[in-house]
Amino acid sequence: MKTLLVDPEHKKRRLTALCGALLLVGGLVLSIAKGSVDIPLWDLVLVFVDPDINEGFYQVVMNIRLPRVLVGGLVGINLALSGAILQSVLKNPLADPGIIGISAGAGLAAMVVMILFPAYSALIPPAAFIGAICAALIIYFIAYDGGAHTLRLVLAGVALSAFLGAFMSTLTVLYSDRVQGTVNWMAGALIGKSWNHLYMVLPYSLIGLVGAIIGSRYLNILALGDDIARGLGLPVERVKFLLTLLAALLAASAVAAVGLLGFVGLIIPHITRLLIGSNNRFLIPFSAAFGAVTVIFADTIARTLFSPYELPVGIIMAFVGAPFFLYLLARGIK
Q: Which is nearer to other proteins, 71 or 234 (CB)?
A: 234
* Contact indicator for 106, 135 with CB cutoff of 8 Å: yes
Query: Shortest approach of other proteins to residue 7 CB, angstroms?
Result: 6
Residues 5-44 within binding reach of other proteins (CB under 8 A) = 7-9
Q: Which stretch binds other proteins (CB under 8 A): 68-76, 222-230, 258-266, 306-314?
A: 222-230
Query: Interface with other proteins includes 119 (CB under 8 A)?
Result: no
* Contact indicator for 193, 67 with CB cutoff of 8 Å: yes
One-letter-per-residue 3-state SS of 42-76: HHHHHHHHCCCCCHHHHHHHHHHHHHHHHHHHHHH
Query: Interface with other proteins includes 217 (CB under 8 A)?
Result: yes
- Tell which residue, 84, 85, 80, has the closest CA to residue 243: 85
Say how many residues touch other proteins, by CB under 8 A: 26
Q: Which is nearer to other proteins, 8 or 308 (CB)?
A: 8
Chosen residue from 40, 56, 181, 225 binding other proteins by CB under 8 A: 225
Torsion angles phi and psi, residue 76, rounded to 5: -60, -45
Q: Which is nearer to other proteins, 221 or 315 (CB)?
A: 221
Residues 170-209 within binding reach of other proteins (CB under 8 A) = none
Query: Shortest approach of other proteins to residue 8 CB, angstroms?
Result: 7
Chosen residue from 4, 49, 119, 330 binding other proteins by CB under 8 A: 4
In this structure, how many other beta carbons lie within 10 angstroms of the beta carbon of residue 58?
17
Give the Cα separation of 327 and 47 in Å (integer): 44
Query: Interface with other proteins includes 223 (CB under 8 A)?
Result: yes
Query: Interface with other proteins includes 221 (CB under 8 A)?
Result: yes
Query: Interface with other proteins includes 224 (CB under 8 A)?
Result: yes
Give the Cα separation of 301 and 313 in Å (integer): 8
* Contact indicator for 97, 247 with CB cutoff of 8 Å: yes
Chosen residue from 54, 121, 150, 278 binding other proteins by CB under 8 A: 278
Q: Which stretch binds other proteins (CB under 8 A): 21-29, 117-125, 213-221, 285-293?
A: 213-221
Residues in the chain: 334
- Three-state SS at 247: helix
- Three-state SS at 38: coil
Q: Which stretch binds other proteins (CB under 8 A): 123-131, 189-197, 227-235, 326-334?
A: 227-235
Query: Shortest approach of other proteins to residue 218 CB, angstroms?
Result: 7
Q: Any idea what DSSP says for residue 307?
A: T
- Tell which residue, 75, 136, 140, has the closest CA to residue 105: 136
Query: Shortest approach of other proteins to residue 66 CB, angstroms?
Result: 36
Give the Cα separation of 291 and 29 in Å (integer): 16
Query: Interface with other proteins includes 231 (CB under 8 A)?
Result: yes
Q: Which stretch binds other proteins (CB under 8 A): 3-11, 111-119, 289-297, 302-310?
A: 3-11
| Dihedral angle over CA of 70, 16, 261, 207, nearest 10 | -60
Chosen residue from 3, 146, 330, 331 binding other proteins by CB under 8 A: 3
Give the Cα separation of 283 and 271 in Å (integer): 10
**Which residues are near other proteins by CB under 8 A?**
1-4, 7-9, 214, 217-218, 220-221, 223-225, 227-228, 230-235, 277-279
